[in-house]
A and B are shown apart, each in its own frame.
Chain A
């Protein structure tokens, strides 16, 4: 089937159409990519929605600026966007002095009376955010992209510019640390053995 630029609705095609002045292409691309950027940024920034929105807007702005120079055969726009979001989040966390390494995170008090069972999911998400914040940045990126954004290991490798084995190692180490942090909080956060 011959290539038809009018029916190609890939992200790269939409980016080229935006560069040519197609406003519909910009709306479609925003609908596709902004949620991904915002979801990733929110988890990378510990749930800070306002900062995540700033990062999302900045990342999309950079995408619009490079649209005329976009060439096929390289990274996908989504891959490129995830990478920009990761870098912007790293910069913001560095400025904040956030993301303490694992061994500086205090252990939960033994026998502490936790909240009642049936807590809303928001507090479970907050617990995950706190545990993610304790991970080294690269492990956090890999785990969030894998288990929250749903990327495959090769796709994560393209975002982080590393091989698949390196991705697997980062994910494995990150999950091990998260599991150690969160296992003790399952009862406190309303999970029973059946979940």
Chain B
């Protein structure tokens, strides 16, 4: 930032006012406080603290943090694929599923062929 004291238009009144004020402004500029060592140390300590807090925080948005907890986008990709597959299977006709699983070509096995004999014995 630059010191530019000559850009204001000057009327005789302006000049008279400047003449009154100039010594007061000069005294104030000469007395401009400088930060003491203690203040500087506090400011730098704050800088260090904010940087440490930022570094310790998980990076990215809330969504990115959730994704990280679930194992990353790769794991989520597998999860999404499984969910989509389940949805697709649920809406298909049984014939389609049987074809896919090979059940349509498999021999049928009756696991309860002799259940009638069992019931009679009881």
Q: Is the CB of B27 closer than 8 A to any CB of chain A?
A: yes
Within the complex, the shortest CB–CB distance from A156 to chain B, in Å, comes to 10
Tell which of A26, A52, A153 has the most Cβ of chain B within 10 Å.
A26
- Find chain B residues with CB under 8 A from A155 CB: 1-2
Binds A, one of B4-12, B65-73, B74-82, B113-121: B4-12
A178 to B27, CA, bound (A): 15
* Chain A, residue nearest B53 (CB): A65
A128 to B18, CA, bound (A): 14
Q: Is the CB of B30 closer than 8 A to any CB of chain A?
A: yes
Is the interface on chain B under 10, 10 to 19, 20 to 34, or 35 or more residues? 35 or more
A67 to B44, CA, bound (A): 14
Which one of B17, B27, B29, B47 contacts A26 once the chains associate, using CB atoms below 8 Å? B47
Binds B, one of A1-9, A84-92, A97-105, A118-126: A118-126
A125 touches B28 (CB 8 A): yes
- Find chain B residues with CB under 8 A from A152 CB: 1-2, 4, 7
- Find chain B residues with CB under 8 A from A53 CB: 35-36, 39
Within the complex, the shortest CB–CB distance from B102 to chain A, in Å, comes to 57
* Chain B, residue nearest A66 (CB): B50
* Chain A, residue nearest B24 (CB): A128
Which one of B29, B30, B43 contacts A30 once the chains associate, using CB atoms below 8 Å? B43
Contact with A along B84-108 (1 / 0, CB 8 A): 0000000000000000000000000
* Chain B, residue nearest A164 (CB): B7
A148 to B22, CA, bound (A): 11
Within the complex, the shortest CB–CB distance from B17 to chain A, in Å, comes to 4
Tell which of B1, B5, B20, B24 has the most Cβ of chain A within 10 Å.
B24
Q: Is the CB of A71 closer than 8 A to any CB of chain B?
A: no
Q: Is the CB of A186 closer than 8 A to any CB of chain B?
A: yes
Q: Is the CB of B83 closer than 8 A to any CB of chain A?
A: no
Q: Is the CB of B122 closer than 8 A to any CB of chain A?
A: no
Q: Is the CB of B60 closer than 8 A to any CB of chain A?
A: no
A151 touches B1 (CB 8 A): yes
A43 touches B28 (CB 8 A): yes
- Find chain A residues with CB under 8 A from B29 CB: 148
Residue ranges of A at the interface with B (Cβ–Cβ < 8 Å) = 18-19, 21, 23, 26-27, 30, 34-35, 38-39, 42-43, 49, 52-53, 56-57, 60-61, 64-65, 67-68, 76, 78, 121-122, 124-125, 127-128, 131, 147-153, 155, 168, 171-172, 175-176, 178-179, 182-183, 186, 191, 195
Residue ranges of B at the interface with A (Cβ–Cβ < 8 Å) = 1-5, 7-9, 14, 16-18, 20-25, 27-36, 39-40, 42-44, 46-48, 50-51, 54-55
